[in-house]
């Protein structure tokens, strides 16, 4: 099968923002008296902001919250998260990621982002990777979260490619499922390798150059 384009998840693939998400959600949860730990945080990978809040609220035993109250909590978390993101610099993306993306471009592959995050462009700007991408599909152009394939299908569409000509790179099981559901080939990295569902498993980001030769 030919691969013409590569669609990358952001968090856990190109950069590592887990800790920052954790700190921001933790601040909100502590204020609300909600128990929250790293294990719960792991369940938020690839999940949209509002769906993440619902997972955190599984440990909330107070009066039912209105939609407006929930939106306020999500906004509060995002404000904290954006402040933390401002501390990110070029050094928060590795040379391996930077060099692999550059080499893929040299080899003629089109590159898109496929992230659930509404902060994706801001993060790519912070780490000086935005220019590497031909298209950005992120939390601002989708209505359904992974494992729905929408974010990746939009990425393929923005690149002008058929889904089957695209390779998705993912670190979350829900993302692997989303790529497969979209009819794409999927390369798993990090935790997603353990789900055993992807077409390829990467032990390191640079392994992409073996698949996309
Ligand atoms: C994903 C993260 O990339 O983006 C999730 O893995 C996060 O943890 C989601 O909830 C939404 O992010 P944001 O930046 O729109 O709140
Ligand atoms: Mg991820």
Spans of the chain, pLDDT less than 50: none
Q: Give residue 46's pLDDT.
A: 84
Asked if residue 44 has its Cβ within 6 Å of ligand 1, the reply is yes
Domains of the chain in sequence order: 5-16+90-211 (3.40.50.1000), 18-85 (1.10.150.240)
pTM for the structure as a whole: 0.94
Asked if residue 26 has its Cβ within 6 Å of ligand 1, the reply is no
> 188 is written with which tokens?
């798993």
Q: Which residues pair with 202 in a beta bridge?
A: 189
Asked if residue 46 has its Cβ within 6 Å of ligand 1, the reply is yes
- Please identify every residue annotated as catalytic: 9, 11
Q: How far is the CA of 64 from the centre of ligand 2 (A)?
A: 30
Q: Give residue 1's pLDDT.
A: 64
């Amino acid at each position: 099968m030919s691969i013409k384009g590569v669609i990358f998840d952001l968090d856990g693939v190109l950069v590592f923002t887990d800790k920052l998400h954790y700190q921001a959600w933790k601040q909100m949860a502590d204020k609300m008296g909600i128990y929250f730990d790293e294990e719960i945080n792991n369940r938020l990978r690839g999940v949209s902001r509002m769906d993440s809040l619902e997972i955190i609220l599984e440990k909330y035993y107070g009066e039912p919250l209105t939609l407006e109250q929930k939106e306020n909590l999500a906004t509060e978390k995002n404000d904290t998260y954006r402040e933390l993101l401002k501390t990110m610099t070029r050094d928060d993306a590795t040379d391996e990621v930077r060099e692999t993306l550059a080499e893929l471009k040299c080899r003629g592959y089109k590159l898109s982002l496929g992230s659930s995050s509404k902060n994706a462009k801001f993060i790519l700007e912070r780490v000086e990777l935005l220019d590497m991408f031909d298209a950005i599909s992120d939390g601002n152009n989708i209505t359904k979260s992974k494992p729905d394939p929408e974010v990746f299908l939009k990425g393929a569409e923005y690149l002008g490619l058929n889904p089957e000509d695209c390779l998705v790179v993912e670190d979350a099981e829900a993302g692997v499922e989303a790529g497969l559901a979209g009819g794409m080939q999927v390369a798993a990295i990090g935790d997603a390798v353990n789900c055993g569902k992807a077409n390829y498993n990467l032990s390191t980001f640079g392994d992409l150059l073996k698949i996309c030769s």
